[in-house]
Homo-oligomer: A and B are copies of this chain.
Amino acid sequence: MKKIAVFTSGGDAPGMNACVRAVVRTALYHNIEVVGIRRGYRGMIDGDFVPMTSYSVSNIIGQGGTILKSARCDEFRDIKWRKVAYDNCVKEGIEGLVAIGGNGTFTGAELLMENFGIPTIGCPGTIDNDLYGTDYTIGFDTAVNTALDAIDKIRDTAASHDRVFFVEVMGRDAGFIAMQCGIGGGAEKILVPENPDSIDDVIGTLKSGGEKEKPSHIVVVAEGEEIGNAHFIAQKAKEALPNLDIRVSNLGHIQRGGSPSAIDRIIASRMGIAAVEGLLKGKNNVMSGIIDDKVVYTSFNDAINKKKALDVDLIKMVKILNS
C-alpha cells in the first residue's frame, strides 16, 4: 500500500482531529503517502483531496471539531455517485481509506467496498457512544464532561431557588451520555430510552423528594427518551405538581464541541494508529475499537447492526445514591 486517504463524516465529535493526526503520522511512519478528503463522501464525489504532511496535523490534537470538515451527502446512497467517488479515489492513487464517523459513515464505507472493493477501516467517532465493538467512541467522554459541567452550573441555580430542572442531553437513541452525566451530576432521576419509565415514576420521585425537604432536583433526559422530550415531560410534571418550580434546559450543540478530554485524545490516537496498521495487515471492512483497554477490530456489519447494551443496572445506583 502506497497511498491512503482519511476523512471524517457524520456529526463532528471532539477527538476527530486527534484521530486524523494519528492516521496521518502513522502512515508517514510507515512511509505511506496520505491525503485528506474534505467533507467526507461529499468531498469524495467532488474530488476535494488535500495532501497531508506531518505539519498539516501539527497542534490539532487538542482542537474540537474536524479540520477535514464533515457534511451530509445524500447522493452517496446512489451507486452512480459512489462510482464517481471511487473513480476519484483511483485517479488520486488511493489504495485504502480510513473513515472516522458513526453508523452512517460505516454504512457508506461498506457499500463502497462491496461495489468497488476499496479497503476501508473505520474509527468510531461520535459523541453518542452507540457503536457496537468499542467501549468508548471518540468524543463520548468529552461530551459527558461538557454536559456534566453544565449540570453542575444548573445545580447551582436549582439549589439556590429550590427548583426542579429537566436537563435534556444528546444521545439519539441511546442513553449513554444521559447515564454518565446523570450519575456524575448527582441527578435525582435519569430517563433513558433503554429503560422505560412512566411519567408516574418521575412524578413520584419529585414528590417524595419534596417531602424529604429536598426541593431542588435534576432530572436528566436523553433526547431519544421514549416518554417524550424534556419539555413534554416537564409539562406533565408541572400539571401534577403545581407547587414545584419546574424548568427545562436543553443543552444542545455545546455537547459536540470543545477541546477533547485526555481519554478521547488517547483512544482517538490508538484507534487511528490501529486503522492504518490494520490496512497494512490486510484488514478491511472493519472498525478499530477498544474493548477492555485492548484494540479490537469489529466488522462494519456488526458495528452497525448489533446493539451495544447500556448497563441499566447503573440506574439502580441512582436510587441508592439518592437515599
Contacts and interface: CB of A to CB of B under 8 A. Distances in A.
A281 interface: no
A252 B123 CA distance: 34
B254 A249 contact: yes
A145 B155 CA distance: 18
A260 to B, nearest CB: 8
Contacts of A323: 25-26, 28-29, 54
A153 interface: yes
Q: Which of A152, A157, A161, A214 has the most CB of B within 10 A?
A: A157
Contacts of A144: 262
Nearest to A140: B262
A184 interface: yes
A250 interface: yes
Interface string A163-188: 00100000000000000110111100
A22 interface: yes
B184 A265 contact: yes
Contact of A250 (B26, B252, B262): B252
Contacts of A217: none
A186 B59 CA distance: 8
Contacts of A319: 29
Interface string A301-320: 00000000001000001011
A244 interface: no
B69 A161 contact: yes
A186 B58 CA distance: 9
Interface in A40-70: 54, 58-59, 61-66, 69-70
A62 B152 contact: yes
Interface stretch (A83-91, A220-228, A266-274): A266-274
Interface string A1-34: 0000000100110100000011001101100000
A252 B249 contact: yes
Instruction: Across the A-B interface, give the 10 residue pairs with the lowest CB-CB distance, nearest first.
Output: A153-B257, A64-B156, A156-B257, A65-B156, A29-B323, A65-B160, A12-B160, A184-B265, A184-B262, A292-B292
Given A26-B320, A144-B262, 14 more contacts: A21-B321, A22-B321, A29-B320, A62-B152, A62-B186, A64-B153, A64-B157, A65-B159, A65-B160, A69-B160, A71-B161, A145-B262, A150-B254, A180-B262
16 contacts: A11-B157, A12-B156, A14-B156, A25-B323, A29-B319, A58-B214, A59-B159, A62-B185, A71-B161, A135-B293, A148-B261, A152-B257, A153-B254, A156-B258, A181-B262, A183-B265
